[in-house]
């Protein structure tokens, strides 16, 4: 008979897994779906790639580009414009709730909106992952459920480590829980898979869970700031323009800002950061305010390779932005890292792949966990329900 504390942890682990398993499985499925969103969207829009008129040909200046685009779409007033260093990549025009459109950066030809179906698919998957949007539940309740699922998953991970920890560090004991045994079948195989997938994914899963908690709960977010000696940010207020601060419609400001004098500043920014991979310009919220410019030297989520600038047309200067990551306190920097550590994008394609493998491991953990629980409560005829220790023994014998 195992110690009472061990049995308490085991039954707590089992019951918590049964209660939250469906939610955890749902988040793992959607997390796996959106693991390579940026790469897949780029692949889906490959037919929009353009041919430069000549090697090293310059892009149209921003004023001419928008004038050409408006010949086809007269009412288009973008809230943001993105260029990429790849000469065959079209320019992206962000237009509030309408989404994004594409144009040829050399001719100004309007290329449409790309594969909007795929954009909609990834948006829906992300909304389900975060809020269970589409289930009929209010977003606040959906967020509470996914947040609770993330929290319980963290407790399952910690209790699983405790249950996994061998009582006697003999190689036979360790091998049974860290290596696959192809000879096993049914319950013994499920037990083996549950332990092996849990062991090898535990550390990155812990990072995914902790960052998920930071994004789900205000207390976790504030704790991050407190532990770093930084003042927690005030609660965010949604402006009248729409959720998340997005502007309604396709008009970024009351009147479209003047673009005069902007092109030399964009050229200066390119010279200042010659290794840029993409540059995203946003229209100012107030007339006469500087144009915020985000310059990425890496992938979408590699914020450590990002520089924020302000293009001040009135002063004809490229200025450092107070929003730049290096200008933030430690709490804000770690909060930004947490956002993209959760998806693995902070470490580029390798990080995304690790995160994707962890979501796949989570699916296996939930499936094998339910299978083990089912056999415990509904054992096959002629086979009595066995304890976890008996499962270990049978696996060692099979090994």
Average pLDDT by consecutive 10-residue portion of the chain (399 residues)?
A: 81 96 98 96 94 89 95 93 96 87 96 92 96 94 97 97 87 89 94 96 97 96 95 71 42 67 96 96 92 96 97 96 94 96 97 98 98 90 47 38
312 closest CA partner among 276, 258, 252, 262? 262
| C-alpha to C-alpha distance for 22 and 156, rounded to whole angstroms | 14
| C-alpha to C-alpha distance for 30 and 348, rounded to whole angstroms | 20
Judge whether 164 and 195 are in contact, CB under 8 Å: yes
Burial of residue 105 (CB within 10 Å: 0-12, 13-18, 19+) is: buried
| C-alpha to C-alpha distance for 144 and 140, rounded to whole angstroms | 6
Q: What is the pLDDT of residue 2?
A: 52
Length of the chain equals 399
Q: What is the pLDDT of residue 242?
A: 41
Q: What is the pLDDT of residue 121?
A: 95
Helix (H, G, I), strand (E, B) or coil at 241: coil
Q: What is the dihedral of CA 25, 27, 32, 34, to 10 degrees?
A: 160
Q: What is the pLDDT of residue 238?
A: 55
Q: What is the pLDDT of residue 365?
A: 98
Cα 29 from chain centroid (whole Å): 14
Q: What is the pLDDT of residue 276?
A: 97
HSE-CB at 386 with a 13 A cutoff on CA atoms is 15
- Give the number of other Cβ atoms within 10 Å of residue 246's Cβ: 13
190 closest CA partner among 379, 398, 391? 391
Q: What is the pLDDT of residue 379?
A: 85
Strand partners, 82: 92, 280
DSSP 8-state secondary structure symbol assigned to residue 345: G
User: What are 85's two structure tokens?
Assistant: 């260093």
| C-alpha to C-alpha distance for 208 and 154, rounded to whole angstroms | 9
Phi, psi of 292 (to 5 degrees): -70, 135
H or E stretch covering 267: helix 262-272
| C-alpha to C-alpha distance for 57 and 188, rounded to whole angstroms | 64
| C-alpha to C-alpha distance for 84 and 109, rounded to whole angstroms | 17
Q: What is the dihedral of CA 130, 136, 141, 144, to 10 degrees?
A: -30
């Amino acid at each position: 008979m195992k110690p009472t504390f061990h049995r308490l942890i085991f039954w707590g682990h089992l019951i918590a897994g049964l209660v939250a398993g469906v939610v955890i499985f749902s988040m793992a499925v959607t997390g796996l779906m959106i693991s390579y969103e940026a790469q897949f969207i780029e692949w889906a829009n490959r037919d929009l790639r353009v041919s430069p008129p000549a090697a090293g040909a310059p892009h149209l200046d921003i004023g001419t580009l928008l004038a050409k685009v408006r010949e086809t779409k007269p009412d288009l007033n973008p809230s943001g414009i993105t260029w990429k260093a790849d000469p065959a990549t079209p320019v992206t025009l962000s237009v509030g709730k309408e989404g994004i459109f594409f144009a040829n950066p050399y001719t100004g030809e309007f290329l449409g909106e790309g594969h909007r179906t795929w954009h909609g698919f990834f948006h829906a998957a992300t909304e389900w992952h975060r809020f269970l949007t589409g289930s009929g539940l209010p977003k606040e309740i959906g967020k509470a459920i996914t947040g609770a699922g993330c929290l319980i998953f963290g407790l399952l991970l910690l209790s699983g480590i405790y249950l996994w920890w061998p009582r006697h560090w003999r190689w036979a004991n360790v091998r049974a829980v860290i290596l696959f045994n192809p000879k096993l079948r049914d319950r013994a195989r499920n037990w083996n898979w549950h332990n092996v997938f849990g062991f090898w994914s535990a550390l990155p899963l812990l990072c995914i869970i902790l960052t998920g908690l930071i994004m789900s709960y205000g207390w976790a977010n504030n704790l991050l700031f407190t532990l770093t000696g930084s003042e927690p940010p005030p609660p965010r207020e949604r402006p009248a323009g729409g959720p998340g601060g997005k502007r309604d419609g396709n008009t970024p400001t009351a009147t479209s800002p003047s673009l005069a004098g902007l092109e030399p500043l964009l050229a200066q920014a390119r010279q200042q950061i010659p290794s840029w991979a993409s540059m995203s310009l946003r229209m100012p919220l107030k007339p006469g305010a500087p144009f915020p410019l985000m310059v990425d030297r890496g992938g979408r989520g590699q914020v450590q390779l990002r520089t924020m600038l302000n293009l001040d047309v009135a002063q004809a200067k490229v200025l450092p932005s107070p929003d730049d990551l290096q200008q933030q306190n430690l709490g804000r920097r770690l909060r930004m890292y947490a956002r993209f550590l959760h998806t693995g994008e902070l470490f580029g394609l390798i990080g995304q792949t690790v995160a994707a493998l962890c979501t796949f491991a989570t699916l296996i953990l939930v499936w094998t966990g339910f299978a083990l629980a089912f056999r415990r409560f509904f054992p096959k005829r002629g086979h009595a329900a066995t304890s976890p220790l008996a499962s270990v023994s049978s696996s060692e014998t099979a090994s």
